[in-house]
Amino acid sequence: MIPLPYPGNDLVHGFWVGLGVVAGLVWYALEKRRLRLHDDRLWVLAGMAVAFGALGARLLTWPAALDPSRTSSLLEWWTLGNRSILAGLIGAWIGVWLGKRLTGYREDTGELFAPAVALAMMIGRVGCLLTENPGTPTGGGWGMVMTAEQAERLGGVPGVGLNPSFLYEIAFHAVALTLLLRWRGRLAPGALFRLYVAGYALFRFAVEFVRGNEEVWFGLTRPQWFLLAVSPLLIRSVLRALRAPAPIHPETRSRWASG
């Protein structure tokens, strides 16, 4: 069993999340260059995605601010409270949508964003793996282990092997990134991103059973109920992506915009 190396260390967590964001932006720039997209409005969209993603990750966890057992003040909740990756994705989508309305950019950018988001998620989750409650007990002699003090601080079970749920998620995003690179340019613009988000939603719903988050109703956690609530939109988005026509020449995608 492997001990949790940096329990609750915000600096370690923040470093990996920041590294993930930087890596995603670098990938975005390289992909933008590969596709010969010179429209500066694309950087506005990237900035809106990062800004609104950060706000969404915090603002959509607002119920925690109302629970005095978790935080003592709104300031503590804003600076030290939990962040939601799922809410961050929703916030980033809203940011891109709003950015397009403000700038007048009309082309689909899903294929440009998808690999960058997968890379950022993969790297950022390393911070969670090193600092947060790993998950539920494995039932065997393997997994990550917390001391009694760490378990009391982070929640969870001390002294037994715990599912490294964040490692599972890192593996998912690594596989997703590989598939996104293999299939880019072969589907309709935006289809890859919609399929990636839908795939992540399904994976996240399943991994929640070993994540160790609080069960709120009928044995399901808040993220699972959130995913069930947005599932009609995800299904509609996937069907739309699958029905859209693929490019005629997938090897040589035409430019989406001119500069």
Q: Is 244 exposed, middle or buried (0-12, 13-18, 19+ CB in 10 A)?
A: middle
CB 184 within 8 A of CB 178: no
Beta strand 144-145 pairing with 215-217? unpaired
Q: In 3-state terms, what secondary structure has residue 144?
A: strand
pLDDT in tens, 106-123: 888 888 889 999 999 999
225/228 Cα distance (integer angstroms): 5
Q: What is the pLDDT of residue 77?
A: 46
Whole-prediction pTM: 0.84
Q: Is 43 exposed, middle or buried (0-12, 13-18, 19+ CB in 10 A)?
A: middle
pLDDT in tens, 176-200: 999 999 888 777 777 888 888 889 9
Least Cα distance to 165 among 202, 210, 200, 220 occurs for 210
Least Cα distance to 127 among 209, 22, 5, 1 occurs for 5
149/19 Cα distance (integer angstroms): 29
Report CA torsion sign: 196, 198, 200, 206.
negative
pLDDT in tens, 221-252: 888 888 898 888 888 888 877 776 666 444 44
pLDDT above 90: residue 162: yes
Least Cα distance to 99 among 50, 34, 28 occurs for 50
Q: What are the extents of the domains in the chain?
A: 2-39+105-243
Q: Which position has the higher pLDDT, 104 or 255?
A: 104
Averaged pLDDT of the chain: 83
Q: What is the pLDDT of residue 251?
A: 41
pLDDT in tens, 2-19: 898 889 888 998 899 999
Q: How many CB atoms lie within 10 A of CB 58?
A: 20
How much of the chain is in helix, strand and coil states, percent to nearest 5?
65, 5, 30
Give one DSSP letter per residue of 228-243, joined into a string.
HHHHHHHHHHHHHHHH
Cα angle vertex 199, ends 140, 14, to 5°? Answer: 70
pLDDT, average across residues 32-61: 85
Least Cα distance to 111 among 10, 253, 3 occurs for 253
150-163: burial string, b at 16+ Cβ within 10 Å, e else: bbeebebbeebbbb
β-bridge partners, 162: 137, 144
Give one DSSP letter per residue of 89-106, joined into a string.
HHHHHHHHHHHHHHH---
Beta strand 2-3 pairing with 144-145? parallel
Those residues whose C-beta lies under 8 Å from the C-beta of residue 24, and which sit 6 or more positions away, are 116, 117, 119, 120
pLDDT, average across residues 36-55: 89
